[in-house]
Structure 1
């Protein structure tokens, strides 16, 4: 009888030990985190959030996920509390509560991503699927409940903290005043939309000491009378580039277009097409890098989080500069002074020209990814294939950032100076993020 009981106990022990690895194998898979970020990216696209507001979703959702990971593994990951000077200490799980920190990080990500600017409930169905996945994989009920509760606690804390970033105040701030003033930005066809997020430079940054920390020299002064002036020459350069685009250059412009809302006009009819934002594109690139390097779950979360912080601060710094300069777009100058029938290759977005937002945030993200993954990381980016655009290959993240910057000139929506300057501006922001933050403890 004792022998039978011993064997039965052994069988039960083996069964229990098999169940634990089952749910860990499923839930602790870093690919699940990448899929979750992509789900958020898809919802950003579906809800037509512009690039700057999208960056806010990415940063708070990733920080919530990361703080859960750091709480569960302080030996390898350092909390951002104290590193981001305005982030208070994030609550820990009680000692008598069982928590699966990977599962909790996924739930915290979704809760925050769902609440920051989205219509309530946008991720509910996906969260339900995550919970079902954990239950189906055999996660014990006490661990499941403890993880759900702790995720909710961290998400609530991060959401409360997020409300201090001045976002709500900018919703009712004064709109940009359109003035017919030489060299000043005015709405462009075909939408002639009002200036986008004119007060985003007032949003509280994560790492920057101030929104105006990295400000490049002023762009060339308006002068169309002198055809040898730097201003006129830069406009003529854009026209000449767009008028002679090669197939490869068109591909590059299309690849980095990342227009969250393009208005297509056909005769008297119009319709919109959407893509993910520039920040969303770099979230996809982060997926490529972390997947290729086979990073574990926690490291994957940390790379996403650091990249999202660089994107967020990059947009704030760039938007501050845009609405300080209120610089005119090439399309406005070329059609008024050079060729009335000219059009850019891609659609001009509705905000001032200087400096290039895509150049800034791409370079900022590239610095973080270069530091975390490597300068010699060659990769192929196929994330645009869902929009019918062929992949592009790059020798490094920095080369990709330069490609993104110059694509705006090929698209006809930026002067080259704004892209060169923006690339440098973004690199300085990314380097500051790398210098100030330590997420992964070596």
Structure 2
């Protein structure tokens, strides 16, 4: 009898240890983080967040997740508090309480993702599914509750910090004043929408000291009378490219279109189609990089976080330049002076032309992903297949960023010079993020 009880107790311990291993296999899997980011990406798409606001959604959610990881693995990861000069110290885990930091990281991401998107609670269903998945894998109830409690503490601290980034103030700031003067931006067809987020350059950045820290040169002077002027040549280059697109150039323009809200007009009927915005596209690429590198959970979270910071700061810098330059779009000039029936291949977005946002943010994100996963890593990006656009393959993240930049010329919405300078600016921003923010302890 005694022997039977010993064997029974041993079997119970073995079963418990197996269940313990099961739940850690689930929470340690970086694919779970990639799926969680994708869920937020889907919510951003479904609710039509403009690209700049989407970058804010991603950055705070990823930082919340990262801070939990840094707290759980202080030997290998540094908190961003203090590295981002205005970021306060984050709550420390309570001693003696066992926490699954990967699970807590996922929950912090979701908590903040819920708070910075609308309708509020968009991720609640996913969070319930996540919790049930972890329970079913056998996480002990005490660890489960401790992990939830710590994730909530960190997420609340991140949200409190986020409220001081000037976002709320810009919601009631003055609208853009349209001045109908040669060379200045005016609304474009078919929406003729008002200028998008003219005060985004006033949002508090993360790694940048200010929106103007990395300046761009003045755009070429408007001149359509001198055929040798830089401006005239840039206009005609765009028109020539759009009028003679190859199949590959067409695919390139469509692949990097990333129009979160395209208005389709057929006769008197109007309807919108949605896709991931540029920040969402690069979040997907971060996931591809993580999977390709076979990165572990913590490395994956750190890579997403650094890329999201680069995207956020790149948009702030770019929008500052855009509304300082107020440059006219190619469509406006070509319709007025060359061909009233000309249309770009992709829809012109509602904000000034110079510099190219895609060029800036793509180059910035590519630099951080190169730092995280290495250079010259070929990959295939299938992010757009869910929208019916075939995948494209690239030699590296930097190669993809260069293509994203040039795609805006083929799309007919940017001048080549704005894309080239945008790429240079983005590289500088990505370099600054890599140098200033040391996430991993080497």
TM-score normalized with structure 1 length: 0.99
Find the aligned partners of 1:291 and 1:117 in 2 and give their Cα distance.
27
Deviation by residue 1:133-184 (Cα, 9 ceiling, x = unmatched): 1111111111111111111111100000000100000000000001111100
1:2 deviates by: 3.1
Q: Which residue of 2 aligns with 1:405?
A: 405
Pairing 1:377–2:373 present: no
Find the aligned partners of 1:419 and 1:214 in 2 and give their Cα distance.
16
Deviation by residue 1:81-104 (Cα, 9 ceiling, x = unmatched): 111011111001211322110000
Deviation by residue 1:207-231 (Cα, 9 ceiling, x = unmatched): 0011101112111101112222111
Q: Which residue of 1 aligns with 2:299?
A: 299
Pairing 1:145–2:148 present: no
Find the aligned partners of 1:373 and 1:143 in 2 and give their Cα distance.
32
Pairing 1:179–2:183 present: no
1:117 deviates by: 3.4
Pairing 1:21–2:21 present: yes
The 10-residue stretch of structure 1 (93-102 or 280-289) with the greater mean CA deviation from structure 2:
93-102
Pairing 1:206–2:206 present: yes
Q: Which residue of 2 aligns with 1:334?
A: 334
Find the aligned partners of 1:436 and 1:134 in 2 and give their Cα distance.
36
3-state SS of 1:232 partner: helix
Q: Give the superposed CA RMSD.
A: 0.7
1:434 deviates by: 0.3
3-state SS of 1:412 partner: coil
Find the aligned partners of 1:402 and 1:256 in 2 and give their Cα distance.
11
Deviation by residue 1:299-325 (Cα, 9 ceiling, x = unmatched): 100000000000000000000000000
Find the aligned partners of 2:78 and 2:376 in 1 and give their Cα distance.
27
> Are 2:66 and 2:301, in contact at CA under 8 Å, matched by a contact in 1?
yes
3-state SS of 1:335 partner: helix
Q: Which residue of 1 aligns with 2:5?
A: 5
Q: Which residue of 1 aligns with 2:416?
A: 416
Find the aligned partners of 1:263 and 1:96 in 2 and give their Cα distance.
56
Q: Which residue of 1 aligns with 2:72?
A: 72
Gaps of 5+ in 1: none
1:338 deviates by: 1.2
3-state SS of 1:260 partner: coil
Deviation by residue 1:213-264 (Cα, 9 ceiling, x = unmatched): 1112111101112222111111111000000000110000000000000000
After superposition, residues 315-326 of structure 1 pair within 5 angstroms as: 315-326=315-326
Gaps of 5+ in 2: none
Find the aligned partners of 1:326 and 1:438 in 2 and give their Cα distance.
36
Pairing 1:352–2:367 present: no
State the number of aligned residues: 442
1:368 deviates by: 0.4
Pairing 1:131–2:139 present: no
Find the aligned partners of 1:372 and 1:128 in 2 and give their Cα distance.
31
Q: Which residue of 2 aligns with 1:32?
A: 32
Find the aligned partners of 1:237 and 1:102 in 2 and give their Cα distance.
50
Find the aligned partners of 1:274 and 1:97 in 2 and give their Cα distance.
45
Q: Which residue of 1 aligns with 2:222?
A: 222
Pairing 1:440–2:440 present: yes
Find the aligned partners of 1:371 and 1:99 in 2 and give their Cα distance.
30
Find the aligned partners of 1:329 and 1:410 in 2 and give their Cα distance.
14
Pairing 1:115–2:115 present: yes
The 10-residue stretch of structure 1 (224-233 or 253-262) with the greater mean CA deviation from structure 2:
224-233
After TM superposition, the runs of 4+ consecutive aligned structure 1 residues lying more than 3 A away are none
> Are 2:44 and 2:117, in contact at CA under 8 Å, matched by a contact in 1?
no
Find the aligned partners of 1:62 and 1:348 in 2 and give their Cα distance.
30
Deviation by residue 1:237-294 (Cα, 9 ceiling, x = unmatched): 1000000000110000000000000000001101000000101000000011101111
Find the aligned partners of 1:217 and 1:211 in 2 and give their Cα distance.
15
3-state SS of 1:300 partner: helix
Q: Which residue of 2 aligns with 1:251?
A: 251
